[in-house]
Structure 1
Amino acid sequence: MFDNETTERGQVGIGTLIVFIAMVLVAAIAAGVLINTAGMLQTQAEATGEESTDLVSERVDITSEVGIVEDTDSDDPTNITSVNLTVTGAAGSDEIDLNETIIQAVGPNGQENLVMPKIDDTDSTYLNSTEPGNATNLTSGHFAVIDDNNNYVASDQAVLGDDDNDYTIILNPEVEPFGSTEEPFGQGDESSLSIVSPSGATTEVELRAPDLFTDSGEAVRL
């Protein structure tokens, strides 16, 4: 027969064991929560890091900004018939789809979001394919892309970084927000552009036409 002292010690031992097991379970649950939380924070940090990297690297670089002066018999040309921006992907960027790019333009005649219209090899809804590089047939709210040979680039091929070619974005200065048919973008006029790539990276561009054009058909730096 067990005496009372032995029985009491056994009960104390079982109670201690129960408390120990409970502490182990609580610690395991807490560890699981911490590991899960750490995993979520790591995933969020990686996503945030990727987004931050994209906002820096996945942007369009402008290598040249020129305007084409109207070709006229006048000795004093005053207007521009095309704004040409030679573009490339920023260093370290992946492919940038210009068809998914938006140009937020502010000019003398208001502001407008410009997008690339749907263009294929036979589509001339917006463009006059018989005059390569001609921007005057672009309607308000649109920009187009041409290659090194001044040929229009189809929407599904206007991708920076998939070849060694530079592309040129062309804008029509005779439509909003740059100007109008009666008063197109011309001498001394200014405009600002924000080119937003599909990743959300933004490139700021300031355009300012010279105060005086000298030759018809010349290309002037903006």
Structure 2
Amino acid sequence: MLENRDTPFADRGQVGIGTLIVFIAMVLVAAIAAGVLINTAGFLQTKSEQTGQESTAGVTNRVNVVSSVGVVGNDETVHLVNLTVMKNSGSGDINLSTATVEWLGPDTGTILENGSEADADHFNTTVIRDKQGSFPVLHNQEDRFRITINANKVGDPGGLDGGDEFTVKIVTSAGAMTYHHSVPPSLSGKDAVQL
């Protein structure tokens, strides 16, 4: 009687094995899908953190112009433009040796690179205050550097006349800041003017 396979229990055993195989297949598919979802979520989290850090750096890692002064020559035109710069609040280190300055004067526009002296193709950077000796890198909030642009050589010879307007864009690796300036109408008898 034990060898009779025509009993109803034999069919149920075969159905149970089939159900078990389907169940195992479903568990495997679910495990693979979960692995893919976890990897994708990890990748997206890493990308979003990186994007957030880059966006924050683009907003905060900027140069802030504290003051701008024009040095007046004997011909009563502004020959040199001195910009006192510091880093923005919350900013990381800013290397001015790799920065560029875009000059858009009343008559001409040009891109200047950092150089040993201010001429037609270069601006010059000097130290006003350097707390830890990090020049030309703005490292501390207290650091102050001077960017000098030779307006007499960048634009048309003769410098900036009274009432002239110009734009300076300081471009660093993190981003750019644009500053609009105007020369006071009267330069007579002055050695320097606030721009």
Q: Does 1:145 align with 2:125?
A: yes
* Aligned residue type for 2:156: S
Q: CA deviation at 1:91?
A: 0.3
Q: CA deviation at 1:164?
A: 3.9
Q: Does 1:52 align with 2:55?
A: yes
* Aligned residue type for 1:107: G
Say if 2:78 and 2:161, in contact at 8 Å, map to a contact too. yes
- Find the aligned partners of 1:84 and 1:24 in 2 and give their Cα distance: 71
Picking from 25, 30, 33, the partner of 2:28 is 25
Q: Does 1:204 align with 2:178?
A: yes
* Aligned residue type for 2:174: S
Alignment of 1:1-222 (within 5 A): 1=3, 2-70=5-73, 72=74, 77-117=75-115, 119=116, 127=117, 138-148=118-128, 157-162=135-140, 164-176=142-154, 179-181=155-157, 183-200=158-175, 202-216=176-190, 218-222=191-195
User: What's the % identity of the aligned pairs?
Assistant: 41
Say if 1:88 and 1:161, in contact at 8 Å, map to a contact too. no
TM-score between both structures, scaled by the size of structure 2: 0.89
- Find the aligned partners of 1:29 and 1:104 in 2 and give their Cα distance: 54
Say if 1:192 and 1:205, in contact at 8 Å, map to a contact too. yes
Q: CA deviation at 1:12?
A: 0.6
TM-score between both structures, scaled by the size of structure 1: 0.79
Gaps of at least 5 residues in structure 1 are 120-126, 128-137, 150-155
Q: CA deviation at 1:148?
A: 2.4
Structure 1 segments, 4+ long, off by >3 Å, are 162-165
- Find the aligned partners of 1:92 and 1:162 in 2 and give their Cα distance: 10
- Find the aligned partners of 1:157 and 1:148 in 2 and give their Cα distance: 10
Q: How many residues align?
A: 189
Q: Which has the larger radius of gyration?
A: 2
* Per-residue Cα deviation, 1:61-96 (whole angstroms, up to 9, x for no partner): 1100110111x2xxxx43112100000000011110
* Per-residue Cα deviation, 1:124-173 (whole angstroms, up to 9, x for no partner): xxx3xxxxxxxxxx222211111228xxxxxx831112584311100000
* Per-residue Cα deviation, 1:1-57 (whole angstroms, up to 9, x for no partner): 133422211111111011101110111111011111101110111011001100111
CA RMSD of aligned residues (A): 1.9
* Per-residue Cα deviation, 1:105-125 (whole angstroms, up to 9, x for no partner): 2112322111102x4xxxxxx
Gaps of at least 5 residues in structure 2 are none
SS at match of 2:114: coil
- Find the aligned partners of 2:141 and 2:59 in 1 and give their Cα distance: 21
- Find the aligned partners of 1:4 and 1:115 in 2 and give their Cα distance: 94
- Find the aligned partners of 1:22 and 1:59 in 2 and give their Cα distance: 56
Say if 2:103 and 2:166, in contact at 8 Å, map to a contact too. yes
- Find the aligned partners of 2:153 and 2:20 in 1 and give their Cα distance: 84
Structure with greater strand percent: 2
